Structure 1
C-alpha cells in the first residue's frame, strides 16, 4: 500500500455559502449526487456536512443526513466520513447528533479550539441570496471555534470507543499534533492515526508549502509509523498542497468545502472535477489512487456493514 494515495472529497462543508457558488451542493439530493459523482471519479472517502435545503445554512439535523447517507451507500462503496465540526456557533450536542444516529466508519475531529475566520470572504460580495449569509461570514471575525480537551475526550469516548468509529484528526496548527499525542499517550485512540493537516485558514498555520514539510517532520517525531498523513490547502493553495502531500508519501483531500475553484478565477463545476484533477496529478507522479476497500485496510476501518444506515 506504500504507493496508494487516498483521495478524500469534502463535498459541501459548513463555511461557503450559496452566494459564493451555484455549484455548491445544498439539498440532500444534490449532496448525494455530488458525493456519488466524486466517488465514481476516484474519491475513496467522502466527507459530509448537511445543509438546510431551503436556505443552504449548515445544519446538523440527523434527519437531513439520513436523507443522503443511505443513497450514497447504496450507489457506491465509498467510506462515508461525517463531520463533528458542524457549523459555526453549534453546541457539541448538536455537532455529535449525526454521528450518534449514523455510527459511521469515520468522523472528523478538530484537535483544538482556535480563532477561525473567513470574514475576508464577505468583502467579495455586495448582494447575498439569503439573509443569514453575510452575518454568518462576518461573525467569524469575533468567534472562537471551540474544541476543548474535555470536548475532544467526549468525542473520542462517545463516538470512537462506543461505535468503533475512527477519526480524521483535523490539525490546523502544529500544536494540534501535540494535542493528539496527549490523547494517544492516554490510550484514548489507537493507531493508525489519520492526520489531516489544514493550511491557510485565518487562525491556523499559514499556507506556505514549507509548513507542510515541518508539519510532517513533527508528526514523524511524535507518531513514527503509527500515522497516515493527509493534507490540503485552503482556496488557491489547494492543488499545490495536495501535490506536495502526495510527493511526501501522504494522502490528499479535495472538495468544495475547501476550495470553490478548479483554476485561477474559475469556479469548479462539481466536486468530481476536483477529484479528477488531483487523480491526474497523483497518477502522473507514478502513484496509484486507493480504492475504498484499500482505504479501509490502510486506516483499519470497521467496514461499511457496521454503520447505522
Structure 2
C-alpha cells in the first residue's frame, strides 16, 4: 500500500467560533451530516470534536459526542478519531471523559505542553454571535495548553493499553517528535506510528516549507521505516502543505477545524468541499486514496466493532 494516501478530515475542532463561518458545524446533526459528507468525498478518517449545540462552544460532554458518533458509524465505514485535546482551556479529566466512554479505534494525542495563541483571530471580527467567543480568543494570550509527560502517559495507558485505541500523534514542533520517541522507548506505544505534523499554530512550528522538510528528516532519524506522517497546516497554508506532503509520500488532513476557506477569501461551504479539492490534487499527483478498510490495515486498528458506541 505504499502508494495509498489517507485523507483525514477534521470536522469542527475547538479553535474557530460560530461567528467566523455560518458553515461551521455546531449541533450533533450538523457534525454528523458534515462528517458523513466528508467520508463520502473520500476521507478515510474523521477527526472529531464536540460542541455545545446551543452556543457552539467547545464541549467535553459525552452526551454531545454521543449525539453524533453512532449516527456517523451507522452511515459510514470511516475511522472515527476522537480528540483527546478537546480545548486548551479544558482539564485533562474533562478532555478524556468522552474518549474513555466511547472506546474509539483511534484518538488524537498532543505530544507536548505549548503556548496555543488564538488571540490574533479576535481582531478580524466585530459582531459576535455569542458572548463567549471574543474573550475565549483574546484570553489565549495567557493560555498554556498542558500536555505534560504524565498527561501523555495517562492517555496512552487509559485509551491505548486499556481500551485498544491507536493514536494520531499531533506534533506541533520538533521537540514533540523526541517526546514520542521517549514513550516508544518506554514501551507505552508501539509501531506503526501515525504522526501528524502540525504547522501554523502560534506557539508551534511555523508554516514554512523548510520546516516540513526538517520535521520529516528528524522523524526519519527517530522512527526509521516504522512510521507514517500526515500534515495539517492552519489557515491559508492548508492546501499548499497538504500538497507538499502528498508529493513527499505522506498523508494529508483537511477540514474546517484547520481552515474555514476553500479559496482566497472564499469560505468553504462544507468539509466535503475541502476533501474533494485535496482528493483531486493527490490523485493528479498519482496517489491512490485509501479506503477506510485499507487505512485500518495500514494503522493496525482494532476495528469499529470494538468501540462502545
TM-score, structure 1 length as denominator? Answer: 0.99
Contact 2:88 2:116 in 1 (8 A): no
Aligned to 2:92: 92
Question: Which segment drifts farther, 82-91 or 172-181?
Answer: 82-91
Task: Say yes or no: does 1:212 pair with 2:212.
Answer: yes
Aligned to 1:249: 249
Aligned to 1:189: 189
Contact 2:38 2:275 in 1 (8 A): yes
Aligned to 2:76: 76
Q: Which ranges of structure 2 fall in alignment gaps of 5 or more residues?
A: none
Aligned to 1:132: 132
Aligned to 1:264: 264
C-alpha separation in 2, matches of 1:11 and 1:212: 23
Aligned to 1:36: 36
Q: What is the deviation of 1:210?
A: 1.1
**Deviation per CA, 1:114-151, whole angstroms, max 9, x where unpaired?**
00101100000111000000000111111100000000
Aligned to 1:151: 151
Aligned to 1:282: 282
Contact 2:5 2:289 in 1 (8 A): yes
Q: What is the deviation of 1:67?
A: 1.0
Q: What is the deviation of 1:88?
A: 2.6
C-alpha separation in 2, matches of 1:196 and 1:22: 28
1:286 match: secondary structure: coil
1:163 match: secondary structure: coil
Aligned to 1:53: 53
Aligned to 1:19: 19
Q: CA RMSD in A?
A: 0.5
Task: Say yes or no: does 1:5 pair with 2:1.
Answer: no
Q: What is the deviation of 1:113?
A: 0.2
Aligned to 1:142: 142
C-alpha separation in 2, matches of 1:287 and 1:31: 28
**Deviation per CA, 1:236-271, whole angstroms, max 9, x where unpaired?**
000010001111110000000000000101100000
C-alpha separation in 1, matches of 2:308 and 2:48: 15
TM-score, structure 2 length as denominator? Answer: 0.99
Contact 2:46 2:81 in 1 (8 A): yes
Aligned to 2:164: 164
C-alpha separation in 1, matches of 2:67 and 2:236: 32
2:132 match: secondary structure: helix
C-alpha separation in 1, matches of 2:107 and 2:98: 10
C-alpha separation in 2, matches of 1:292 and 1:190: 21
Task: Say yes or no: does 1:307 pair with 2:287.
Answer: no
C-alpha separation in 2, matches of 1:215 and 1:87: 25
C-alpha separation in 2, matches of 1:206 and 1:118: 14
Q: What is the deviation of 1:70?
A: 0.5
